[in-house]
Amino acid sequence: MDENNLLEIKSLSVGFLTHSGFLEAVHDIHFTIPQGKTVAVIGESGCGKSLTAHAILQLLSATCRIVRGSHIYWKEQDLLTLPELGMRKIRGGELGIIFQEPMTSLNPVYTIGEQLKEAIQQHKPCSRKQSHIEAIALLNAVGFPEPALQLIRYPHELSGGMKQRVMIAMALAGEPDLLIADEPTTALDMTTQAQVLTLLQSIQRAFKMSILLITHDFGIAQQLADHVIVMYAGQIVESSSIDHFFEKPLHPYTQQLLNAVPGIEKRHHRLAVIPGVVLPLTEKITHCRFAARCPHADKICWEKEPQWNLLDQNQRVKCHLYDKHYPVKKKVIEVSFNSASLITKSAADAKSLLTISNLKIHFPVRQGLLKRKRSFVKAVDGVNLTLYEGRTLAIVGESGCGKTTLAKGILRLLPISGGGIHLNDQDLAQLSLRRFRHYRQQLQIIFQDPYSAFNPRLRVSDIILEGVRTLQKKRNLFQEESLLQSLLEQVGLPQDSADRYPHEFSGGQRQRIGIARALAVSPRILLCDEPTSALDVSIQAQILNLLVDLQKERNLTYLFISHNISVVSYLAHEIAVMYLGRIVEYGDAKTLLESPKHPYTQLLLSAVPTIKKPKEIVIPVKINHTDLPSAANPPQGCHFHPRCPFVMERCKQEYPGMVALNPSQKVACHLYEN
Amino acid sequence: MNLSFKFVILPTDALLWLVFLIIMGFVLFARGKMQLAAHWYQVFHRRPLTIIAAALLGVFLSISLLDSIHYRVMLPQNNNSDPNFYDAHISSVFDKIVSPLGTQTEKTYSSPLSSDPDLKNHYHILGTDKIGQDVFYVSLKSIRTGIVIGILTTLVMLPFALFLGLIAGYFQGLADDIIQYIYTTLSSIPGVLLIAASVLSMHIFIEKNPLAFPNIAERADLRLLSLCVILGITSWTTLCRLLRAEALKLREMDYVQAALSVGVRKTRIIFRHILPNVMHIIMIVIVLDFSSLVLAEAVLSYVGVGVAAETFSWGNMINSARLELAREPVVWWPLTAAFLLMFILVLSANIFADAVRDAFDPRLRKRR
Amino acid sequence: MLYIVRRIAYAIPILIGVNLITFALFFMVNSPDDMARVHLGNKYVTEQEIDNWKEERGYNEPPFYNSQSIGIERYTHTLFFEKSLSLFAFEFGISDGGRNIGSDIKQRMFPSLAIAIPILLIGLLADITVAMLMVFFRGSYVDTVGVISCVVLMSISALFYIISGQFLIGKVLQLVPISGYYDSWLGLKFVILPVIVGILSGIGSGARWYRTLFLEEINKDYVRTARAKGLSEIAVLYKHVLKNALIPILTGIVVLIPTLFMGSLLLESFFSIPGLGSYTIDAIHQQDFAIVRSMVFLGSVLYILGLVLTDIVYTVVDPRIRLS
């Protein structure tokens, strides 16, 4: 064993006991983590990356089993032979871990001080006073403002980012040599994510530890990792140093996955799609696990499992393409450049279809003895937007900015407090709900969560046709049937889907059902509420391609709500940036992304870890205050001023008006007012 | 046609059979629906204990159904002008099946399987009670009372809980406030006392109008039915509260929003999107309540607000037998028989309820 | 503070509702005449006897409006005011049997508490211990056997526990007296058996319910965090799981605390304990409506008090809920 290696995993296999047998979710993996380095394990959901992390600490659920013959060497000691008592000393001590969900990972009934001190005392017995001092020092190390005052706070009083900082502090309490970070920022907002990632970088340097980073995001890996491991269907398929990895990805899966990531540079292309699904892991597999989905698959791929091919010191791949003994030819993959690019018309010739003017959605807050309306949460507070026919307007913002409320308000699923929604010449906001029913058909919505979007007791055919049946006076079974078949075909679902129930479909397929349901009533406008944020990258690419195709075929207008900048930059024609219920910047997608004007937009864009960025990114905008204020109590003046690096006296007094910088860009910021 | 008997349909007979037919209808319906069938498959799959429990429940249910077909036999000295053309005593098909049991009486107590020469040459596997009735027969006849209370109470309670719970949860606002007020008020009154007060009032009512219920059996049956009604009215609040909470959650689900966005009307949303998705809660609560109702019957009989003294019931058996423990030698068999049968029924129901809960919703927390 | 005031204010309409329901039940469904007949024997009762019976007990007034009185007395000299509204002032009046209900209640609530409090406290401890044991050995045969025993225990009628307890311990083994009560520490021997029976009859459903609560908590993320710190399984269970699960347990119990005064109908009656439970059951047997009416109202008041207490306890034990 290499002296420098802290952790060495040797032929580790982990699985679950299920009704249909033993499911080997991790199969025979090997890797090492050198001292002081960061190793990222990348893969889509279900590839076994989190299970690997939990197996190292033996934090497995009751139905999990580590297969005999597996070894996890920690400083030359096999953890799997260690009794539970010994393991407890290492767990939380030399080996720390942070989890994906900071919201639920802290005990709600203890203060963060109590939880921190517990972690401290577990590994070095010390007096209460000592542990108190230590706790303050730890909070200080993870960037808590006024740590001494924060110790008595309960987890629910902190924001997600702050909770994740507490988690990191707790992991640091045992002075770990290795920190396992299991999707540490997946549940966080973009700006928070950037902060946590920077924090991880800085504490790694300060504490001189190694990090095992579990992630699905190439950008995060690019930012933090020294070495990347790609997992697919329970196996490691590629292992490579960070520089080689992004320069020259080897495995067809990695290549396809990288091509499936949307971005501004791919605006005129279709995204790469990996066909098919991951094979079931309950059976014994003797061939390449990716063969069925691989564009280069040959006979040998179906006969023999590929061995490791060492390309150079730092790059290994498990694929027959790189095996000199087998004649697998690499096929040229055609990246289908779409003849018609996304941008068909310029905004100038486009016809405006839906105009939202000064739209307000305020929720009353009831207080006092008689529960009278005392104040309002201004979730949407005076939004002006125009949707052009056949084009996509994206609304970008962090959670809680009011973007979903806006969509539901446009559909009149929430009561509107003021303003207008003009469809052609009709003000939809003025209509009674009864009369609005006639216009519902024109506006449809696709939801974020593919699991709660369908009534589990209805068949797909009933789900898709519900709208048509409601709108029609008389049912025409023949028409319904032909409509159903054409919709299923359009969204790419098998014809026999109609008689099945939603739970029989995967997340991506469900999102297709959702699209079919929305299209069934032939709407002109489709509101897409983060339709891909619950999906894996490869599935996301499929859905985005489908949305692009449908827009062209049907001349659909999209209002696309997202927090994902790369998705938006791929899809949108216009972008509006939303912050605490108001639009702070609006513009043509290209212009806005290339020269963001509002400090918040700049912050958002710089916070996105992308593959193309240089390694050591420094966030250009330093945030003064870390927490996103709540919409119930927005700051006086410009809502962004407490976080703004360019804050002026004027920003604290009055909210800036919208200024048109050029025909295709508007911004609400005092910096640009003259 | 000249039948030698005349059917007598007591109210609880009719309702019990009605419920049975509804359940059978539901079973046929569920067979067609793949999803429901899959849940029920899960209830029994690899659970021998549940299958035994379900079989026992089936036996109990069959007995009570057979015991719910009543008739009066034609008297031998028949004379068409005689109003008492038929025997005043009402018997059931079940009596006929176990026929000698009900009529083989002794003078007084006899111990189980006794072959005392004083007995009239009958064996009584569980002995006889104070007035010489076969204990085994009495405890079998009591099954019907237990099942009727367990099932008919649910029948009374269900419409209240379902209707009010869904309305409160879905429409909110004033309707919600009123419904919440009603069930908080009702549930704040101690259950046993509310039942006792209602039953006492009803007793007085029946006693005040003796002419309306000439037949002892009919009067006893009416008391049984009204006990079910009172239990139903006092016990709908728990289910109502659960359904309200669930409807509150479901109305925010994306699929309800999707239905609204294509213009589906609210009543239709309740029937199509909300109701089918609370069925599992109703299912689980019904099965869980059944066993507690069977147990409650015995307690209420002891308190003196249970079924009529003439009705065969475990509560009455226990109530009359508990003092017999003080006798020398101890008369233990009537008490044991009643407790044993009640235990078997309740245990089967509990095991069955567990399986139903696991299959339909493993997350739903067990209520107390 | 405002929150508590609102909770108490909310209780008033509920109590009025309870009051109306009981009034309707006791005076509208059956008139005082009917009650008189029941008490005097159904048949062969003269009108005069009925009037006398009503006169003695103050039932000879119209329900809501007295046209024979003057001024405010038109409303106060009515059944509703004197028999129902007076309950709000805790004036329970005289029972149909001629006893002062208020002083009876004061006297009888202590024996009730002597039984109910030990059952609650020791029972809670026993339930939690058994549930914790099952959770600690979850998945093993200890757990399975425990769950099955719980289901069996909860399928047994409470009457069986009482009768068999009295028979076995009281009569056959003669360890403690079968029934009775003595109002001092010497009375301890009378209390032991009902307490044991009370705990035993509740342990099945109680322990099983707590087990579900614990298991629900044990799958949460924060438990994984606690394990990741290197805590032992026992520390995880007692420090982290128990404290979270105690929130629903405690709040579930607080509702019951005020109603402990009401006593247990069955236990007190079987063990001849002169508490409010046996008082109530005797009243039901004797069809003494005045007592039943008072107990219904008292029970409701105590229950609502329990609800208010629950809300307060919630804000104390659960840091996520603060008075606001």
The pLDDT tens digits for C42-95 are 666 777 777 777 777 777 776 776 677 776 776 666 777 767 777 777 777 777
| Nearest chain C Cα distance for residue B196, angstroms | 7
- Across the range C6-28, mean pLDDT stands at 83
Does residue C154 have a pLDDT over 70?
A: yes
More confident residue, A674 or A236: A236
Q: Which residue has the tokens 């007096």?
A: A127
Q: What percent of chain B has pLDDT over 70?
A: 82
Cβ C306 vs Cβ C11: under 8 Å: no
Measured between beta carbons, which residues in chain B are less than 8 angstroms from residue A471? 262-263
Question: Taking CB atoms and an 8 Å limit, are C318 and A109 in contact across chains?
Answer: yes
Question: Taking CB atoms and an 8 Å limit, are C240 and A88 in contact across chains?
Answer: no
| Nearest chain A Cα distance for residue C317, angstroms | 8
Does residue B33 have a pLDDT over 50?
A: yes
- Span A411-452, pLDDT tens digits: 999 999 989 999 888 898 888 888 888 889 899 999 988 888
Q: How far apart are CA B262 and CA A622, in angstroms?
A: 45
Give φ, ψ of C86 to 5 degrees. -60, -20
- Mean pLDDT (chain C) is 83
Residue C289 lies in a domain: no
Q: Which of A440, A453, A454 sits opposite B263 (nearest CB)?
A: A440
Give φ, ψ of A15 to 5 degrees. -150, 175
Give the range of the structural domain holding residue C182, as residue numbers without chain letter.
104-276
Q: How far apart are CA A195 and CA B181, in angstroms?
A: 49
Q: Does A93 contact C at CB distance below 8 Å? A: yes
Q: Does A60 contact C at CB distance below 8 Å? A: no
For B125-156, letters b (16+ CB in 10 Å) and e give: ebbbbeebbbbbbbbbbbbbbbbbbbbbbbbb
pLDDT value at residue A621? 47
Tell me the CATH number at C141.
1.10.3720.10
Dihedral of alpha carbons A34, A35, A37, A41, sign: positive
Cβ B364 vs Cβ B284: under 8 Å: yes
Displacement of CA A26 from its chain's centroid (Å): 24
How many domains in chain C?
1
- Across the range B160-171, mean pLDDT stands at 92
Does residue B86 have a pLDDT over 90?
A: no
Q: How far apart are CA A281 and CA A328, in angstroms?
A: 25
Q: How far apart are CA A13 and CA A48, in angstroms?
A: 10
Question: What tokens were used for A668?
Answer: 């609400």
pLDDT value at residue A271? 86
Q: What sections of A23-70 are H helices per DSSP?
A: 49-57
Q: How far apart are CA A172 and CA A139, in angstroms?
A: 10
pLDDT value at residue C228? 92
Burial of C288 (0-12, 13-18, 19+ CB in 10 A): buried
Q: Report the candidate in B98, B23, B75 with the shortest Cα–Cα distance to residue B312.
A: B98
Question: Looking at this protein, which amino acid is placed at residue A576?
Answer: A
Q: What's the angle, vertex CA A432, arms to CA A427 and CA A433, rounded to 5?
A: 110
- Span A176-227, pLDDT tens digits: 999 999 999 888 888 888 888 989 999 998 888 999 999 999 989 988 999 9
Residue A618: pLDDT band (50, 70, 90) is very low
Does residue C19 have a pLDDT over 50?
A: yes
Does residue C173 have a pLDDT over 70?
A: yes
pLDDT value at residue B112? 67
- Across the range B72-78, mean pLDDT stands at 68
Residue C41 lies in a domain: no
Q: Report the candidate in A257, A266, A175, A166 with the shortest Cα–Cα distance to residue A218.
A: A257
Q: Which chains touch B (3 or more CB pairs under 8 A)?
A: A, C
Residue C292 lies in a domain: no
Question: Taking CB atoms and an 8 Å limit, are A455 and B276 in contact across chains?
Answer: yes
Does residue B1 have a pLDDT over 60?
A: no
- The residues facing A528 across adjacent strands are A446, A560
pLDDT value at residue B135? 81
- Span B215-262, pLDDT tens digits: 777 788 888 888 999 999 888 998 999 999 999 999 989 999 999 988
Q: Report the candidate in C83, C42, C38 with the shortest Cα–Cα distance to residue C60.
A: C83
What number of other Cβ atoms are within 10 A of residue C174's Cβ?
Answer: 9
Pick from A435, A455, A515, A527 the residue to mutate for testing the B interface (most B CBs within 10 Å). A455
- The residues facing A577 across adjacent strands are A396, A585
- Span A122-167, pLDDT tens digits: 888 888 899 999 999 999 888 888 888 888 889 988 888 889 999 9
pLDDT value at residue B365? 39
pLDDT value at residue C324? 45
Residue C35: pLDDT band (50, 70, 90) is confident
Q: Does C51 contact A at CB distance below 8 Å? A: no
Please, how many CA atoms are within 13 Å of residue B182, restricted to the half-sphere of its CB? 17
Question: Taking CB atoms and an 8 Å limit, are B261 and A452 in contact across chains?
Answer: no
Strands of A426-427's sheet in order across:
A372-388, A352-367, A418-423, A426-427
Sorted by sequence, the CB contacts under 8 Å of residue A400 that are 6+ apart come out as A580, A628, A630, A631
- Mean pLDDT (chain B) is 81
- Across the range C200-227, mean pLDDT stands at 91
Residue C257 lies in a domain: yes
Strands of A315-318's sheet in order across:
A95-98, A178-182, A210-215, A38-42, A227-232, A235-241, A315-318, A308-312
Predicted model pTM: 0.86
Mapped onto helix, strand or coil, the DSSP state of residue A423 is strand
Q: Does B121 contact A at CB distance below 8 Å? A: no
| Nearest chain B Cα distance for residue A531, angstroms | 13
Q: Which chains touch A (3 or more CB pairs under 8 A)?
A: B, C
Residue C112 lies in a domain: yes
Q: Which residue has the tokens 């107990």?
A: C295
Q: How far apart are CA C89 and CA C161, in angstroms?
A: 39
Instruction: Identify how many contiguous H helices and E strands chain A contains and give both numbers.
Output: 21, 25
pLDDT value at residue A117? 93
Q: What percent of chain A has pLDDT over 90?
A: 38
Q: What sections of chain C are H helices per DSSP?
A: 2-23, 32-40, 47-57, 73-76, 79, 101-136, 141-154, 158-165, 188-218, 221-228, 233-235, 242-254, 256-259, 265-270, 276-285, 289-317
- Span A524-555, pLDDT tens digits: 999 999 999 888 888 899 999 999 999 988 99
Is-cis flag, bond preceding A252, omega within 30?
Answer: no
Question: Range with the lowest mean pLDDT among A344-358, C41-55, C188-202?
Answer: C41-55
Question: Taking CB atoms and an 8 Å limit, are A369 and C227 in contact across chains?
Answer: no
| Nearest chain A Cα distance for residue B86, angstroms | 53
pLDDT value at residue A270? 83
Q: How far apart are CA A187 and CA A573, in angstroms?
A: 28
- Span A255-302, pLDDT tens digits: 989 888 888 888 878 888 888 888 888 888 888 999 888 888 888 888
Residue B115: pLDDT band (50, 70, 90) is low
Strands of B5-8's sheet in order across:
B5-8, B70-74, B86-92
Q: Which of B34, B262, B277 sits opposite A466 (nearest CB)?
A: B262
The beta strands (E) that lie in A495-573 are given as 525-529, 557-562
Mapped onto helix, strand or coil, the DSSP state of residue A375 is strand
Q: What sections of chain B are H helices per DSSP?
A: 11-32, 34-44, 48-66, 93-97, 100-103, 135-171, 173-188, 191-208, 216-250, 254-261, 266-269, 275-303, 314-321, 333-360
Q: Does B35 contact A at CB distance below 8 Å? A: yes
Question: Looking at this protein, which amino acid is placed at residue B171?
Answer: F
Q: Which of A59, A101, A123 sits opposite C228 (nearest CB)?
A: A59
Q: Which of C30, C205, C259 sits opposite B201 (nearest CB)?
A: C30
Burial of B87 (0-12, 13-18, 19+ CB in 10 A): middle
The per-residue DSSP string of B16-38 comes to HHHHHHHHHHHHHHHHH-HHHHH
What number of other Cβ atoms are within 10 A of residue A477's Cβ?
Answer: 7
Q: How far apart are CA B11 and CA A467, in angstroms?
A: 45
Q: What sections of A158-280 are H helices per DSSP?
A: 160-172, 190-207, 218-224, 242-247, 252-260
Q: Does B172 contact A at CB distance below 8 Å? A: no
Residue C50 lies in a domain: no
Q: Does B34 contact A at CB distance below 8 Å? A: yes
Measured between beta carbons, which residues in chain C are less than 8 angstroms from residue A107? 222, 225-226, 240, 243-244
Q: Which chains touch C (3 or more CB pairs under 8 A)?
A: A, B
Burial of B35 (0-12, 13-18, 19+ CB in 10 A): middle
Give φ, ψ of A50 to 5 degrees. -70, -35
- Across the range C165-178, mean pLDDT stands at 78
The number of residues in chain B equals 368
Give φ, ψ of A279 to 5 degrees. -75, 155
Does residue A346 have a pLDDT over 60?
A: no
Nearest CA in chain C to A60: C224
- Span C127-136, pLDDT tens digits: 999 999 999 9
Cβ C123 vs Cβ C66: under 8 Å: no
Residue C257: pLDDT band (50, 70, 90) is confident
Mapped onto helix, strand or coil, the DSSP state of residue A95 is strand
Q: What's the angle, vertex CA B340, arms to CA B334 and CA B344, rounded to 5?
A: 150
Cβ A233 vs Cβ A271: under 8 Å: no
Cβ B41 vs Cβ B50: under 8 Å: no
pLDDT value at residue B366? 37
More confident residue, C38 or A333: C38
- Across the range A27-45, mean pLDDT stands at 92
Cβ B30 vs Cβ B40: under 8 Å: yes
Dihedral of alpha carbons A532, A535, A536, A541, sign: negative
Kindly give the interhelix angle for C101-136 and C141-154, rounded to the nearest 10 degrees.
Answer: 160
Dihedral of alpha carbons A159, A164, A165, A169, sign: positive
The per-residue DSSP string of C80-127 comes to IIIIIGGGGGT---B-TTS-BHHHHHHHHHHHHHHHHHHHHHHHHHHH
Residue A617: pLDDT band (50, 70, 90) is very low
| Nearest chain B Cα distance for residue C16, angstroms | 9
Residue C282 lies in a domain: no
Q: How far apart are CA B314 and CA B293, in angstroms?
A: 13
Question: Range with the lowest mean pLDDT among A335-339, A563-567, B98-102?
Answer: A335-339
pLDDT value at residue A587? 92
- Mean pLDDT (chain A) is 86
Cβ A12 vs Cβ A71: under 8 Å: yes
Does residue A337 have a pLDDT over 50?
A: no
For A498-535, letters b (16+ CB in 10 Å) and e give: bebbbeebebbbbbbbbbbbbbbbebbbbbbbbbbebb
Q: How far apart are CA B204 and CA C31, in angstroms?
A: 10
Residue C261 lies in a domain: yes
Q: What is the DSSP letter of A304?
A: S
